[in-house]
Structure 1
């Protein structure tokens, strides 16, 4: 029966051909590239609309300043100043325990997890960051840092490690907040034990791009 099903499915073709099989990871990469192109196009149109709206809105200098402050606080405007970048990297796949008393690592011990990235983002906000970007994307209040396996999905785009988190703010306050975060402290133990990557680079000046994605909230409703 197995041979008959194979014959009926193949219909004279090679069902083992790599060209006829699209791996799920390839499909994700393809969709991610399409999302980037669409997001870039949308950002240009949104910027044009905003420019026209400002030109035609009029308003007093005080109202324009209030609008500018709201855009800055919402992440819809560029922000520049002193800051730092945190880089997190997976450990080598053949890593072994480097500290006495630690067990030999399981694969799960050697990769960056969602809680690790989220802990860095939370610590930087708590340290007074004026703005944060993860990889090349600016975070806003509705941004969700989500990891699936050893990849990051952020606002419709897919990223692989190493992961970078950049914040604008007082570097000393930001570093102090990172150093006192309990989740990050546990991560650093794995850095010492298994070779996960942890690096903090300080910047005299850095610029974060404005958020250019959609801001509309969507919700589900039960079907009656």
Structure 2
């Protein structure tokens, strides 16, 4: 008869359960191996991407450096790197543009003459007007006035500053205004015609006139009666003030009276007015006088200045 209470096989049961108890440890080792493999793969990927990125950056940098070097070589061949060279380039370019303007103006004059010959009637306001406006070159007797900076080794009285040793804008203006007052028919400053709208400026010891720059000595040429012109220079108080500094610090002052005729070129700049105003009391239209009311004055200024 079978045993109702068989003896439990404890040892057998423990022996059968051992493989099940060892399975979690094997899975853990598997997981660690896979994680280590993934980590190694990720590191290789990052290293590869880093290498590719570095290579790409180096290639782009090399291309940029090469392009910059080529551009620099091309720029050096075209543009100087010092201020004097740049100024010389700009002066040369300005001269070329001035020649082009003169050529275009000559073509315009030729076309205008052709239209006149074709039947259009044009009348000049008169030779005196053409001379005063600078349209015509002028040849005749006159004088020349030269102004120059003081020499470096000249006298230096006490209290003398650097500004006292150079020719200023007001010095040139004093000479030109005195010559106009003395009856000059035409005038030139350096190689350019001076008319009523001419404006020049001294920047340091450099003269700027109608887009061109000149260094001293500055030469003013005036066509007119030499005796009247000389008398006007002697009588002008601003000119006398400049000549006192000629004696004090050695500023340049030379007046010439050539035996032959002087030549003053025609004006080659723009004659368009950009800014203008009407003096008070001037009759603009019949019954309309500048300055009679604020509204009239404001409207006149706007019309004169273009807004």
TM-score band w.r.t. shorter chain: 0.7 to 0.9
1:164 has 2:219 as partner: yes
- The whole-number CA distance in structure 1 between the counterparts of 2:136 and 2:181 is 21
| More strand as a share of residues | 1
CA shift, 1:64, in A, is: 4.0
Q: Is the 8 A contact 1:96 1:194 kept in 2?
A: yes
Number of the residue aligned with 2:135: 76
Q: Considering only aligned residues, what root-mean-square deviation do their CA atoms show, in Å?
A: 2.6
Number of the residue aligned with 2:274: 218
Q: How does 1:8-157 map to 2 (within 5 A)?
A: 22-58=81-117, 64=123, 66=125, 68-97=127-156, 102-103=157-158, 105-157=160-212
- The whole-number CA distance in structure 2 between the counterparts of 1:170 and 1:51 is 34
SS in 2 for 1:199: strand
1:177 has 2:241 as partner: no
- The whole-number CA distance in structure 1 between the counterparts of 2:221 and 2:177 is 12
Q: Is the 8 A contact 1:96 1:105 kept in 2?
A: no
Query: Which structure has the bigger radius of gyration?
Result: 2
CA shift, 1:145, in A, is: 2.0
| More helix as a share of residues | 2
Aligned length: 201
TM (normalized to structure 2)?
Answer: 0.59
- The whole-number CA distance in structure 1 between the counterparts of 2:273 and 2:249 is 41
In the alignment, structure 1 segments of 5+ residues that lack a partner are: 1-10, 14-18
- The whole-number CA distance in structure 1 between the counterparts of 2:127 and 2:101 is 21
In the alignment, structure 2 segments of 5+ residues that lack a partner are: 1-64, 70-75, 276-304
Deviations 1:163-216 (A, max 9, x none): 000000000000111111111111111111111110000133111110112222
- The whole-number CA distance in structure 1 between the counterparts of 2:109 and 2:128 is 15
CA shift, 1:217, in A, is: 2.6
